[in-house]
Structure 1
């Protein structure tokens, strides 16, 4: 086992544990009285990140399918499809989180203010649409991924130790790449736009706070903290996404996948679902309060 694989397994273990903790936390809030839309979005994102990590490469999910004695081809199609769906949902829900926070903090005089109540009412419909879209959007990969046989004979491109992509002509390869790029560039564009908007709002608010009493500043701090966390998540996501995207596109166009490149890509791809819960835990006062109570009970 290489040092890169060791890094990936440590990263995956930490990511799964942190996300499971958050999933239980947000689920308990949602099952309680009047959950906030932000909690619903965060809960979705946590579940997606758990599935992303579990279906990454030669993973725990694949081992479960092996125990069910399913063929290698079925195992590869299932894990690769779920992995692509979760990757798509990760970018979609992160984008939704960014848009929702931009609408939430927008002043009453802005154009976005009138959408505040509408966004809260239609959040469930947004989830349904995003899941339906990504389940159908990624379905084409079922036809292109197969159980790995022999690269030298079939010109298959290895994407994990046991799975590979079947040969595609340049037109199909170009169409697949264009479709994915169009979706991702559009969503990343929205995230960057809302992020710039939130930075402007925060700066205006900071200027106003200088002329107001310190208590007013304290009241605004939870909202400000949430916005800063989301901005960090968006920036980190965009950086990690583009590194992963450059590796994927280069390998896809050249039809070459090296084992070292695979391991580097896995570490980059799953950095976001590992860092996200840690940022959420450190910035949410409710979670910090729960952890403090647990600590005091244990001591």
Structure 2
């Protein structure tokens, strides 16, 4: 089977479509991080779910800056943008960031499912959850950095001539696995990790929805004592649905690229766009659904308006 994805020269028009997405995504995730930094500075602590959302914003920021910026820089006609070392760092950083995004979204759904679960069985685990956040982050970083070591070993800058077999051609970089076995092993490891994590987040999100439905009419249990937990749970479920939707589109395009010997640059660019949609949209959903983040943004906006009004009056 021929695994090479041979792309023609990328046109400027598709890359242009990624530029607004990249800019707005970087802005949105940076705003979320700054808002939480302000919460931490003024209040001295974050809620249990807040560090996970901060880490999700950071992972999404990695995806957009590392992968999408080189892609969109082709708009300006830059050729030979990256050296071999640059390609290794870009692809490794992007893949680790993408893996962290999916794993943190899964951890977020599992964390929230345990948090709102009724009964005394999970009470001890609920008490330990805040202390498990940082070790979980460390484990996810270590695991995914190990999984993507091949990105450091087999990534190279594009060269003139034909693209070898078992090579993923990403336009600005190549990933040459050199033989069929390495290609298959890496694909099985990554695909197995992705689909198992997506399955886990779907199960935990389904459990959250079941609990919300079961307790939706219990005013005492939901609207008073657990209103904050309910809002957080709905946010988590929406983030999971958002991720799974774009994950499905991304993988459909990916399978098509693997089965075709020649792939249009428009198709490759569409995959870049779809694979980055979650990183682009999720911060704006967090901003709209999180009262603390929204309050910090509105506070800054009101301060700027007041400063602008004072400046005009002084003139």
Q: State the TM-score, normalized to the length of structure 2.
A: 0.83
Counterpart for residue 5 of structure 2: none
Counterpart for residue 60 of structure 2: 49
**Contact residue 106 and residue 112 of structure 1 kept, 8 A:** yes
Matches within 5 A, 1:133-212: 133-152=143-162, 154-155=164-165, 157=167, 159-166=169-176, 168-209=178-219, 212=220
Task: Report the aligned-residue RMSD.
Answer: 2.7
Query: In structure 2, how many angstroms separate the alpha carbons of the residues matched to 1:29 and 1:259?
Result: 43
Q: CA deviation at 1:156?
A: 7.1
Counterpart for residue 38 of structure 1: 49
Counterpart for residue 3 of structure 2: none
How many residues matched?
290
Q: CA deviation at 1:103?
A: 1.0
Instruction: Give the structure, 1 or 2, with the largest relative contact order (CA under 8 Å, sep 6 or more).
Output: 2
Match of 1:148, SS state, is coil
Query: In structure 1, how many angstroms separate the alpha carbons of the residues matched to 2:161 and 2:200?
Result: 39
**Contact residue 28 and residue 280 of structure 2 kept, 8 A:** yes
Counterpart for residue 238 of structure 1: 244
Matches within 5 A, 1:74-153: 74-109=85-120, 111-152=121-162
**Cα 1:151/1:92, change in 2 over 3 Å:** farther
Counterpart for residue 15 of structure 1: 25
> Gapped runs of 5+ residues in structure 1?
64-68
Q: CA deviation at 1:272?
A: 0.2
Query: In structure 1, how many angstroms separate the alpha carbons of the residues matched to 2:71 and 2:14?
Result: 18
Counterpart for residue 287 of structure 1: 293
> Gapped runs of 5+ residues in structure 2?
1-10, 75-79, 307-315
**Cα 1:55/1:255, change in 2 over 3 Å:** farther
Q: CA deviation at 1:253?
A: 4.9
Q: State the TM-score, normalized to the length of structure 1.
A: 0.87
Match of 1:208, SS state, is coil
Match of 1:56, SS state, is helix
